[in-house]
Structure 1
Amino acid sequence: MKKDQKKSTITDVAKHVGMTTITVSRALNTPEKVKRETLERILAAASELNYVPNAIARNLKSKQSHIIGLIIANIDNPFYENTFKAVNHAAKESNYSLMLFDTDGSEEQEKKAIETLLSYQASGIILSAVSDDKNYMPSYLHKLKLANIPVVQIDRKIHNIDFPGVYLDNFNSAYKGMDALLKKGFRNILILAGPKTSQITLNRLKGIQQAIMDQEHPIELTIKYGDYTKTPSKQAVVELIQEQYLPDAIFGLNILITLGALEAIQEAGLNTENFGFMSIDPIPFARTFGKTIPCIKHDTYALGLAAINMLIQDIKGNSKETQDIIIEGNLTIS
């Protein structure tokens, strides 16, 4: 065997970077425990030497399992229902089995899901990450890169990596929602948003601000940040009611956020008809709150279908320079 055909080992990587094998092993298995500069040097050396960790190497030698993984951040969010249906249906049609993981917003659970799929020799992964903060760099990313497994992101984008994705048109969706509220004459508006550092939140707030600027109305705008679940938005509205602050309208920047606000108002004994509402995506069974809820609706089935088709093409080696796909939203009534 020629020298340049020899399989690189962890010792080769350690010698290349002038570190111990213990340090290299720690960087590859628990990257969160080493400095970023150290990790980057080790990953660069591993890539240059074509080093593949033993567990991943065994998977690559074996035939792929024909499994596709779908990792979502919160299975309670109705947003994912049609996305899952589309992915599951298309996967079956292409003779792939689907493994579904709910991380419940936990980075640790997300990491375990990735490691499980690697151990099952999954053919590809569709990922809705727990965070789209620009500084979110999960420790499992290097394992995906070393395994060279196709990944398509949906909804939430992990930045600074080259995985393609299917996302919502967050700026224009929020613009349309705010524009509709302003045209109805609402001027005192409560915005219930996601995490303050979320790129989805930031882009939606930019759309809202642009709608205000375009109409040039004096607006009293209150923004309350939380996460993508019901609890923070519900608590925020409860506190505002206790302070006797009652806006003209409430704009919830996702389904669960809006549901939290509706529950708070209903439990306080207030009439939802006294408030204007807008939601990003439709509220299931909205009429149980005695009110129709205008919303900006996205075709989440189309989102899932685009993601699975993109992934399967990548698995088959048919993908070229894959471009991100953006799903537009349209004003409708829940």
Structure 2
Amino acid sequence: MARRSKVTINDIARHVGMTNMTVSRAFQDPDKVKPETREKILASARELGYVPNAFASHLRSRKNRLIGLVTASVDNPFYSEVIKAISRAAEQHDYTIMLIDTDGSPEREEVAIETLLSYQVAGVILSPVSDDAAYQPAYLDRLRAAKLPVVMLDRILDVEDFSRVVLDNRLAGRLVGEALVKESIRQVLVLTGPRGSRITQHRLSGLKEAYDSAGVPLMLEQRSGDYTLQPAYRDMADFLRQSRAPEAVFGFNQLITLGAMRALHDAHVSRDDVLVAGIDRLPYADIFDVSVPCAVHDTYRAGHEAFHLLFEQIKDPTVAGREVVISASLMH
């Protein structure tokens, strides 16, 4: 079956017997076209199946209402709430989101930035694939050269010239640590993100601070993953095969905690025997009467703040970069 070619302004002009300029004006500047002429053109466009090229329209008007949103893990429930907040805030200001999921790949992240630059987006909200201090992607210089407003979210690169919205990760680790101390927990298996991740390091520091402040000794074993479910499941299962179940397991995000819980379930380890704690709210846990002490952040606010930092820069390119810190609270 032959592929149908796209309908163009020329096709509509021939169909209605008018000039290309008149047809184009009906779409771009409708107030300058007689109502009956405009309606005839629009009717023809519907009949022929014409779809306006929004990108071309932007290039003509030099006014873009498109914002790029680059995230490393759309399947992470944390980012689902963040994306929802950004999308709603953007809609209120008549902007559209172009969402790109890099799936944790530096190569895909590079392509994502190049794509957004080619679309001449008004700005970019970026949650990079890594927050290791050694990660310095080549696209940083291109973003700077383009003078494009950029806001980093959650994971941040080790640069000072972009605004950012970050979580209070040290506080989150400390809150969970305090909860474990209250439960008289001394032995903790900690399932984390990459060892080089500053998020991992800050959450681990907060945990240790809680025990140091309480004067309680802590036997800690760390297994490093990548903030996804499967490595956490594997590490938890391996630990259970090699030694006795720990007094407590601390997952450094939702997916890690869920992976650990699944491994415990599959190994027939009762929740009464191992205390599970985590960072980030476990979605729908209350439906199954599962109580897990968690340090949670207002993810919706994180997304909302990210958009408004970006919007601030779009409106005034001279505004200084800022940092917004989202606090943490403990819930059971």
Check whether the contact 1:272–1:291 (CA below 8 A) recurs between aligned residues.
Answer: no
Secondary structure at 1:71 match in 2: strand
Report if the CA contact (8 A) 2:149-2:317 is conserved.
no
Partner of 2:28: none
User: For 1:262-308, what per-residue CA distance to the aligned partner results, in whole angstroms no more than 9, with x for missing partners?
Assistant: 11011112222321121111111225665211101100000000000
Which of these two proteins has the greater Rg computed from alpha carbons?
2
Query: 1:323 Cα shift?
Result: 2.1
Structure 1 CA distance, aligned partners of 2:207 and 2:172? 9
| Counterparts of 2:214 and 2:207, CA distance in 1 | 11
- Which structure 2 residues correspond to residues 96-245 of structure 1 after superposition, within 5 A? 96-245=95-244
Structure-1 separation of matches of 2:160 and 2:322: 14
Partner of 2:100: helix, strand, or coil?
strand
Q: Deviations over 1:28-72 (max 9, x none)?
A: xxxxxxxxxxxxxxxxxxxxxxxxxxxxxxx99971421001111
Secondary structure of the 1:133 match is coil
Whichever residue aligns with residue 253 of structure 2, its letter is N
1:95 maps to a residue whose letter is D
% identity of equivalent residues: 41
Mark the CA change 1:193 to 1:221 in structure 2 (over 3 Å): closer, same or farther. Answer: same
Q: Which runs of 5+ in 2 are unaligned?
A: 1-57
In the alignment, residue 166 of structure 1 is paired with which amino acid?
Answer: V
Per-residue CA deviation, residues 84-114 of structure 1 (Å, 9 max, x unaligned), is: 1110001011111111111100011111111
| Conservation of the 8 A alpha-carbon contact between 1:64 and 1:121 | no
Give the SS at the match of 2:249: strand
Q: Partner of 1:331 in structure 2?
A: 330
> Residue by residue, what CA displacement relative to the aligned partner does 1:148-196 show, whole Å, maximum 9, x if unpaired?
1000000011003411100000111100111111111111111111100
4+ aligned runs moved over 3 Å, structure 1: 59-62, 287-290
The one-letter code sitting in structure 2 at the alignment partner of 1:165 is R
**TM-score, normalized by length of structure 2?**
0.79
Per-residue deviation, 1:320: 2.9
1:167–1:327 contact (8 Å) kept in structure 2: yes
Q: Distance in 2 between matches of 1:328 and 1:188?
A: 27
1:95 maps to 94
Question: Match for residue 300 of structure 1?
Answer: 299
AA in 1 matched with 2:219: E
Deviation at 1:226, TM superposition (A): 1.1
More deviation in 94-103 or 217-226? 217-226
**C-alpha contact 2:261 2:276 (8 A) present in aligned 1:** no
Shift, 1:218, TM fit? 2.2
Please give the alpha-carbon distance, in whole angstroms, between the structure 1 residues aligned to 2:132 and 2:59: 32
8 Å contact from structure 1 (residues 60, 147) kept in 2: no
Q: Which moves more between the two structures, 230-239 or 314-323?
A: 314-323
Q: For structure 1, list consecutive stretches of 5 or more residues without a partner in the other structure.
A: 1-58
Question: Residues of 2 paired with 1:85 and 1:182: CA distance?
Answer: 36
Tell me the distance in 1 between the aligned counterparts of 2:132 and 2:293: 28
- TM-score normalized by structure 1? 0.79
